[in-house]
Structure 1
């Protein structure tokens, strides 16, 4: 079932709630520039194993409202806090993919892990997404100029930008139909939200946030990821207490589809 929760005046966030109401709750936060439907192949399987899957469309994406402002990691983390305050669940597994991984890390630091039992980082865009002085060499392929080009493309030819970005998403071949479906999810976002969250991806840093995570954390990452390279996973593993690094040897950024069966199994194992 789906429903809306008001996170501030005039902003309603869509929540997709799949599986048994008394199941172990997992809250999914999608990446840039998609929405919660990207987790369809987890929603198909995990409820069979007793999990309740709660997918959130971030503001500006999917079926959520698309306000002009509010696209910093702080505000997006605050939206999650309001949603969790209004859903009658506790002891959740909080899972974030790509930019969603960065946002859930900020949530853990900013809101002291409210209601979270375990944290799952799926190809997370953290602790940084773009190169900058003063940080270890070789962590990321992206420069601020690269992201600026994505922002310009968003304002001039968003469908082509999404198509080109999507071509980097999977390591394993996917059908044209599946690639078109993934692209269609990104087109459900507003152009403004797509550009403004790209600014957050470009500029935010999460090194200090990592040290504030106090729950068991699974770091799920494809070794062939060219969007968020595997050294980012190793950096997070070094900085987060009680972390477990789970590499996917035949996956890129979309590891939950590239190695679907392995991902679902390992994710359920970690979430138990």
Structure 2
């Protein structure tokens, strides 16, 4: 690892790790967001594509997606719940999918404020906020910055909190070299990186006896390539180095944590188990053979677990 890359990575880590304390909640900015067709436009002019399925008077569930995907990655859960009377809303994170690709602001504070912009612009209340992987960090930071006035319940699915990277006070985290490797691979050939992730650890297709599903691999790749290069590169620091422990301490709504026991991307012991321990009253469900991409590989079980939690 050369000195320049290491220095840059360390700078990203410092910025992301302290972002929880960098600014007060931007409630006013979220309230100034506007709806224009299938887009919510934030106060700073970022256009966020969103889907709004199901009956408009149904109980509301929002979905925040993972890296480098978009809201399409939630379609199995959204269709399932919409058919059962729920209003399901999901947006493409800034820099991903069909949303704007701003040069700056590819960090968890902005991700959380964008989620707030969608919720406020659509005037959603009593929302169950669901986040997968990076989206779980987005949900945690949303509650940390905007509290739970509009939130009824929370669900973290294969989520990155409390903090992924190894630090002095997080010795069980993943070494920085893991994330430096992602950055390096992204710069060299991000198309190949996405194919390698999808055909390997994301869905567990690298496990002995596993049968890769070409459709899932292609869908992951297509969503990744639709995202902005700079945005997905910056997002690596956002999901790996942001410290969500302070955000989790602010959770005061029923919370469900779901994770795969065989997750090779976000290890269950340092993420889900740790998060469940930090959120008062949180319930943890582990799918023993589940990889990271359980929204697809275990969609029937996940759909039912979500429905059961919503009905409680």
Structure (1 or 2) with the larger CA radius of gyration: 2
- Compute the RMSD of aligned alpha carbons: 1.4
By how many angstroms is 1:86 displaced? 0.8
Is 1:246 the counterpart of 2:285? The answer is yes
Is 1:169 the counterpart of 2:202? The answer is yes
Residue 116 of structure 1: which of 136, 147, 151 is its match? Answer: 151
Residue 177 of structure 2: which of 145, 155, 161 is its match? Answer: 145
8 Å Cα contact 1:102/1:124 also seen in 2? yes
By how many angstroms is 1:217 displaced? 0.5
| Equivalent position of 1:187 in the other structure | 225
| Equivalent position of 1:222 in the other structure | 260
By how many angstroms is 1:135 displaced? 2.0
By how many angstroms is 1:64 displaced? 0.4
By how many angstroms is 1:89 displaced? 1.9
Q: SS of the residue aligned with 1:230? A: coil
Deviates more, 1:148-157 or 1:96-105: 148-157
Deviates more, 1:160-169 or 1:185-194: 160-169
By how many angstroms is 1:88 displaced? 2.7
By how many angstroms is 1:112 displaced? 0.9
| Equivalent position of 1:157 in the other structure | 189
By how many angstroms is 1:52 displaced? 1.4
Taking the aligned partners of 2:82 and 2:239, their CA distance within structure 1 comes to 32
8 Å Cα contact 1:250/1:259 also seen in 2? no
Deviates more, 1:21-30 or 1:162-171: 162-171
Is 1:206 the counterpart of 2:244? The answer is yes
Q: SS of the residue aligned with 2:77? A: helix
Deviates more, 1:146-155 or 1:181-190: 146-155
By how many angstroms is 1:239 displaced? 0.6
Q: Show CA shifts across 1:25-48 (max 9, x none).
A: 110000111000001111221112
Taking the aligned partners of 2:213 and 2:117, their CA distance within structure 1 comes to 38
Gaps of at least 5 residues in structure 2 are 1-36, 205-209
Q: Under a length normalisation based on structure 1, what TM-score does the superposition of the two structures give? A: 0.94
Taking the aligned partners of 1:150 and 1:135, their CA distance within structure 2 comes to 20
Is 1:59 the counterpart of 2:101? The answer is no
Structure with higher strand content: 1
| Equivalent position of 1:92 in the other structure | 127
Q: 1:35 to 1:54 in 2, by over 3 A?
A: same
Count, aligned residues: 268
Taking the aligned partners of 1:207 and 1:152, their CA distance within structure 2 comes to 28
Q: Under a length normalisation based on structure 2, what TM-score does the superposition of the two structures give? A: 0.83
Residue 77 of structure 1: which of 88, 112, 123 is its match? Answer: 112
Q: Show CA shifts across 1:17-71 (max 9, x none).
A: 1111112111000011100000111122111211111011110000100010111
| Equivalent position of 1:258 in the other structure | 297
Residue 275 of structure 2: which of 233, 236, 253 is its match? Answer: 236
Taking the aligned partners of 1:104 and 1:202, their CA distance within structure 2 comes to 15
Taking the aligned partners of 1:173 and 1:58, their CA distance within structure 2 comes to 31
